[in-house]
Structure 1
Amino acid sequence: MALLRNISNSFCRIFQRQASSDSACTIYSLSSGHVKCGVSVIRLSGPRTKQALRAIIASGSENGFEFEPKPRQAYLKSFYHPVSKEMIDRGLLLWFPGPASFTGEDACEFQVHGSLAVIAAMLDALGQCDGLRPAKPGEFTKRAFFGGKLDLTEVEGLADLIHAETEAQRKQALLQSTGALARLYDSWRKRLIRCAAHLEAYIDFAEEEQIEGGVILQLTRELNAVKAEIKDHLNDQRQGEILRDGVRTCIVGAPNVGKSSLLNMLCQRSVSIVTPLAGTTRDIIETMHNFGGYPVVFADTAGLRRQTSDAIELEGMQRAKQCINQSDLILLVADARELTTLDSSQSKSVTYYIEKYLNDLDIPLALCNDKVVKLVANKTDTLKTDELENLQKLSNILTISCLKPTNEALQEFLHALELQLQQLCGAPRAEHPRITHMRYRQQLERCIEHIDIFLSDYKPDVYPDMAIAAQKLRQSVRCIERITGHVSCEDILDVVFKDFCIGK
């Protein structure tokens, strides 16, 4: 056990040395967008921040070496090139001494006019200061992570917040970036560490004496409680991941039932080509859409049927089935005239028709087992009033006329679809944070496996090798630590930070 702890500590020291060597440099970058704007923010972080700050404002009556900025106070200053001494711009300066800064290091911000020429001149001026270099993508956040300001779940939440495109995504990312998941996972980690510590204490001090069964029973009760909480956390129907990545919605159906028309209507623009000819769409046409605050990836597919000799159509049908397999929601479009025989008094009639329709389209039911399938009755403008009323009484069916949508019918259709998206994505809540990344799910499942191994080894009258049992508990702790970043794994860090923008 001592050897394992020494190895673990050695790896930690290696990662800490690498982090400290990177932090020896002071980094700078434009943190606002690379476009013309009213104000741009240039950020610095590192041990030579104050020297660089003084070098940029040191000229004439503004003697930078006598200037001592107060923390988190804005100063209106003129900024100069340290070599040519020419004035670049006049703007705001803010000083954030470590550790009370985003990165935990000394940091400052220059707020200048958003001219591309001003930005270029400021970056060139900072490049002339000793000990400064341009920041790499995500390096400010990486320093905050190594400085203990953020754990890895908060870092990934921050990345999601930067990339959020809808209101629901923003809420979920904000909760994660402010520590909702970190607090939950850290509570499990501490409870598992406590169990492992108690067990190791008995290993170290009990010597040859029989270990009291009551201690083991108390450990098993606590482990079962943690295991139940983790299982409940995992049983979330992937809501957090679906919301983060977008609800993949596949529009399928027979040729010429109005799939492309439905996509164009939902997106309020001409995404797919629509003609009276069947089989116009041959490939997958995808578009991202903010639908009621939820991100939806709509996919228009080729019309499906059993018999065709067209090689291109066959390939399009095969791609449509692949799209179904990767989707979260399936909009199964049918001609409303074919649904008039459905009986509203029989609750299973729609389910039976969906299965029959999928079979007619040669779509294996296994592809749709874990998907939400909604039947869309299009071309309702061709129905009589009583036929339409009977159709609208059916559950699990949406009615619409893409050719002649009335405002009332369109609003009802959109509302029903939005309710379905709410069920798929859920509502982000601080008291019940959701899993947002597949690696969280994988590590939590492994954590349960290690707990199960320990629990299966325990027998009321026979005690296993306690050293091995303790190792299983330590492995369950490591699984949680790989999520939060308490155990540094360089490959995980590379994946996390690779998508960050420069300046963050």
Structure 2
Amino acid sequence: MSANGSTIFAVSSGAPPCAIAVIRISGPDSFGALNSLVGRDVAPRRPSLAKLFGKNGDLLDEALVLKFPGPGSATGEDCVELHCHGGRAVVAAVCAALGSLDGLRPAEEGEFTRRAFANGRIDLAAAEGLADLLEAETELQRAAALTNMGGALSARVEAWRDEALRLSAQVEAALDFSDEGDVDDLPEGFTWNVDSLMAEMREFLERPRTEKLKEGFRVVLAGPPNSGKSTLFNTLIESEAAITSPIAGTTRDVIERSVAISGVPFTFVDTAGLREHGAEEIEAIGIARAHAEVDRADLALWLGDEGKGPKGAWEISARSDEADRIKKARARHVVSAVTGDGMADFKADLVAHARQSMPRPGEATLNRRQYARLEEALEALDAAKSRSDLLIVGEELRRVRLAFDRLVGRATTEDMLDALFGRFCIGK
């Protein structure tokens, strides 16, 4: 299926200049465009070396060309790839030649992937996994995105849908025979099967979400003024983002930076020093914001007097190189951001702790949209289990299947698709 029968083209590799530039063409006129450029036919699914010519017969480049007949192509329609030399002038000349051909136009963001979705080559969950893969910046993000792109989530949802369909068939059978007196109620085991399906779905809902991989494990550094928060913050992010000074109240506002440590994404947050007295108006606003950040943190690091920090915070004895540091009897870590003492063990502990709240490598994850659809299905299943009217039970099971269909894209809206494929670059 091509939008309005059009054929699209775009550079699908990195921006020139580069060693090789891959120009992708997809649509009903792809093979005609290839023949126009090379002046001859080429064998499908086999790389061929060919000279590319413009309309006036000028030589544009010598390239490796491939053609992929649909529907067995990436987009489900006829596709061509031109592996050209990656100079800006070469790429511009070839794209200009393609743009001069009737029926061809430049692709929009995500249009190749959108056509793959429209033609059934991938479903919505796999498309979202691909979008996440293109945006991945850490090892955990890459692994999770590859799992979803590879169809792990789609396969699980399809299995759940098949089970919901089987349950619906049991309800339909009960309805068909109820008039004859052969079946008075749902078959034995119906409720048990619903409970089993719900348990599997709840396990998925309890997993860490995809957004956690993007936002990172949020760690807030808290404590009184001059407890070493900003110096430790700068060391953790390996940047001089926060001003450090012996003057109390130097940090007035929240400063946050995102970094990856051992492939795990973190967001570290430096806050104003917490004190009850002596803060002027601007500093007081910063202190209020610091309390708010502690409340939303995944983990707080407390650098103040032992036992006076937020509940669940790690007790950190910072500035171990200074004689007047705050000493703690049960500090989880004793560190010096200046000398580096204790920092390696401290970071390793942070990574191990953060991994527990992140999706495990190879484990399918849910994003916010998918989570909402799965919640809808679970709610409908719970309603089906509690109803006695077979017609209502059947309707609730239909709602379950519809939620699954929306999750993988069998039933969706154009606005949602526009938002998703708008995340892709041109050429993908």
1:76 aligns with 2:49: yes
1:219 aligns with 2:190: yes
Q: Distance in 1 between matches of 2:60 and 2:159?
A: 51
Q: Distance in 2 between matches of 1:121 and 1:245?
A: 41
Partner deviation per Cα, 1:48-97 (whole Å, 9 max, x = no partner) = 10001111122xxxxx2xx23231x2122221222x32222222111111
State the Cα distance separating 1:305 from its structure 2 match.
Answer: 2.1
Secondary structure at 1:418 match in 2? helix
Contact 2:174–2:184 (CA under 8 A) maintained in structure 1: no
Q: Distance in 2 between matches of 1:85 and 1:281?
A: 67
State the Cα distance separating 1:308 from its structure 2 match.
Answer: 4.6
State the one-letter code of the partner of 1:399: V
Aligned ranges 1:47-196 → 2 under 5 Å: 47-58=28-39, 64=40, 67-71=41-45, 73-82=46-55, 84-196=56-168
Aligned ranges 1:404-423 → 2 under 5 Å: 404-406=339-341, 409-423=342-356
1:247 aligns with 2:214: no
Aligned to 2:263: 293
State the Cα distance separating 1:482 from its structure 2 match.
Answer: 1.1
Q: TM-score, normalised to structure 2's length?
A: 0.93
Contact 2:249–2:279 (CA under 8 A) maintained in structure 1: no
Which of 311, 321, 336 in structure 1 is aligned with 2:281?
Answer: 311
Aligned to 2:411: 487
Contact 1:23–1:46 (CA under 8 A) maintained in structure 2: no
> CA 1:373–1:501 in 2, change beyond 3 Å: closer, same or farther?
farther
> CA 1:314–1:23 in 2, change beyond 3 Å: closer, same or farther?
farther
Partner deviation per Cα, 1:367-387 (whole Å, 9 max, x = no partner) = xxxxx6323221122369xx9
Count matched residues. Answer: 428
State the one-letter code of the partner of 1:229: E
Contact 1:482–1:489 (CA under 8 A) maintained in structure 2: no
Q: Which moved more, 1:323-332 or 1:482-491?
A: 323-332
**Tell me, which stretches of 5 or more residues in structure 1 are unaligned?**
1-19, 59-63, 340-352, 359-364, 366-371, 459-463
1:374 aligns with 2:309: no
State the Cα distance separating 1:317 from its structure 2 match.
Answer: 2.4
Aligned to 2:373: 443
Q: Which moved more, 1:176-185 or 1:309-318?
A: 309-318
State the one-letter code of the partner of 1:289: V
Aligned ranges 1:272-291 → 2 under 5 Å: 272-291=242-261
Q: Which moved more, 1:209-218 or 1:149-158?
A: 209-218
Secondary structure at 1:161 match in 2? helix
Q: Distance in 1 between matches of 2:123 and 2:141?
A: 20
State the Cα distance separating 1:178 from its structure 2 match.
Answer: 0.4
Contact 2:2–2:115 (CA under 8 A) maintained in structure 1: no
1:24 aligns with 2:39: no
Q: Which moved more, 1:303-312 or 1:115-124?
A: 303-312
Secondary structure at 2:240 match in 1? coil
Partner deviation per Cα, 1:322-372 (whole Å, 9 max, x = no partner) = 4334432322233xxx44xxxxxxxxxxxxx1xx333xxxxxx6xxxxxx6
Contact 1:289–1:297 (CA under 8 A) maintained in structure 2: yes
Q: Distance in 2 between matches of 1:500 and 1:90?
A: 29
Aligned ranges 1:387-402 → 2 under 5 Å: 391=329, 394=330, 397-402=332-337
Which of 280, 285, 291 in structure 2 is aligned with 1:321?
Answer: 291
Partner deviation per Cα, 1:216-261 (whole Å, 9 max, x = no partner) = 333222211100111122122x254312432222222222211111
Q: Distance in 1 between matches of 2:178 and 2:185?
A: 18
Aligned to 1:229: 200
Secondary structure at 2:256 match in 1? strand
State the Cα distance separating 1:118 from its structure 2 match.
Answer: 1.7
Aligned to 2:364: 433
Q: Distance in 2 between matches of 1:186 and 1:383?
A: 63
Supply the RMSD in Å over aligned alpha carbons. Answer: 2.3
Aligned to 1:7: none
Secondary structure at 1:277 match in 2? coil
Q: Distance in 1 between matches of 2:271 and 2:107?
A: 43
Which of 304, 309, 320 in structure 2 is aligned with 1:357?
Answer: 309
Contact 2:170–2:187 (CA under 8 A) maintained in structure 1: no
Secondary structure at 1:217 match in 2? coil
Secondary structure at 1:280 match in 2? coil
State the Cα distance separating 1:35 from its structure 2 match.
Answer: 4.0
Q: Which moved more, 1:45-54 or 1:317-326?
A: 317-326
State the Cα distance separating 1:423 from its structure 2 match.
Answer: 1.5
> CA 1:109–1:477 in 2, change beyond 3 Å: closer, same or farther?
same
Q: Distance in 2 between matches of 1:23 and 1:298?
A: 48
Aligned ranges 1:3-18 → 2 under 5 Å: none
Bigger share in helix: 1
**Tell me, which stretches of 5 or more residues in structure 2 are unaligned?**
none
Q: Distance in 1 between matches of 2:30 and 2:182?
A: 57
Q: Distance in 1 between matches of 2:38 and 2:257?
A: 49
> CA 1:331–1:158 in 2, change beyond 3 Å: closer, same or farther?
same
Q: Distance in 2 between matches of 1:446 and 1:274?
A: 50
State the one-letter code of the partner of 1:129: L
Q: Distance in 1 between matches of 2:300 and 2:419?
A: 31
State the one-letter code of the partner of 1:402: A
Q: Distance in 1 between matches of 2:357 and 2:323?
A: 31
Secondary structure at 1:43 match in 2? strand
Contact 1:255–1:279 (CA under 8 A) maintained in structure 2: yes
State the one-letter code of the partner of 1:145: F
Q: Distance in 2 between matches of 1:484 and 1:312?
A: 49
